[in-house]
Amino acid sequence: MVIKGCIFDLDGVIVDTAKYHYQSWKRLAAELGFDFNEEVNERLKGISRMDSLNIVLSEGGVIVSEEEKVDLCFMKNEWYKEYIVDLDESELLPGVKKFIEQLRKDKIKIGLGSASRNAKSIIKGIGIDHLFEVMIDGNDVQKSKPDPEVFLRGSTGLNLDPKNIIVFEDSRKGLEAAISAEFIPVGVGIPELLPEANFHIQSFENLSIKQIITHLAK
Residue 86 has what pLDDT? Answer: 82
Residues 192 and 93 reside in one and the same domain: yes
Report whether pLDDT(144) > 90. no
Residues 140 and 159 reside in one and the same domain: yes
Residues 98 and 37 reside in one and the same domain: no
Residue 22 has what pLDDT? Answer: 93
Q: Are 185 and 196 in contact (CB under 8 A)?
A: yes
Residues 189 and 124 reside in one and the same domain: yes
Residues 58 and 111 reside in one and the same domain: no
Average the pLDDT over 200-214 and give the result: 94
Q: Please report how many Cα atoms fall inside a 13 Å half-sphere around the Cα of residue 88, on the Cβ side.
A: 2
Residues 205 and 102 reside in one and the same domain: yes
Domain-ending residue, one of 64, 84, 104: 84
Domain-ending residue, one of 31, 63, 84: 84
Residues 123 and 192 reside in one and the same domain: yes
What is the band of 19 on the pLDDT scale with cuts at 50, 70, 90? confident
Helix, coil or strand: residue 203: coil
What is the band of 212 on the pLDDT scale with cuts at 50, 70, 90? very high
**How far, in Å, CA of 12 to CA of 188, rounded?**
8
What is the band of 188 on the pLDDT scale with cuts at 50, 70, 90? very high
Residues 99 and 177 reside in one and the same domain: yes
Total domains, the chain: 2
Average pLDDT, rounded, for the chain: 93
Residue 17 has what pLDDT? Answer: 82
What is the band of 16 on the pLDDT scale with cuts at 50, 70, 90? confident
Residues 9 and 31 reside in one and the same domain: no
Average the pLDDT over 19-30 and give the result: 93
pLDDT in tens, 75-132: 999 999 898 888 888 889 999 999 999 999 999 999 999 988 889 989 998 999 999 9
Catalytically annotated residues: 9, 11
The radius of gyration of the chain from alpha carbons, rounded to an integer in Å, stands at 17
Nearest to 198 by CA among 186, 180, 213: 186
Q: Residue 31: phi, psi to the nearest 5?
A: -60, -30
What is the band of 73 on the pLDDT scale with cuts at 50, 70, 90? very high
Q: Which domain holds residue 54?
A: 18-84
Residue 91 has what pLDDT? Answer: 87
**How far, in Å, CA of 149 to CA of 7, rounded?**
13
**How far, in Å, CA of 196 to CA of 191, rounded?**
9
CATH label of the domain that carries residue 171: 3.40.50.1000
Residues 117 and 189 reside in one and the same domain: yes
Domain-ending residue, one of 61, 84, 107: 84
8 forms beta bridges with: 112, 168
**How far, in Å, CA of 100 to CA of 95, rounded?**
9
Residues 74 and 96 reside in one and the same domain: no
CATH label of the domain that carries residue 65: 1.10.150.240
Report whether pLDDT(1) > 80. no
Residues 201 and 115 reside in one and the same domain: yes
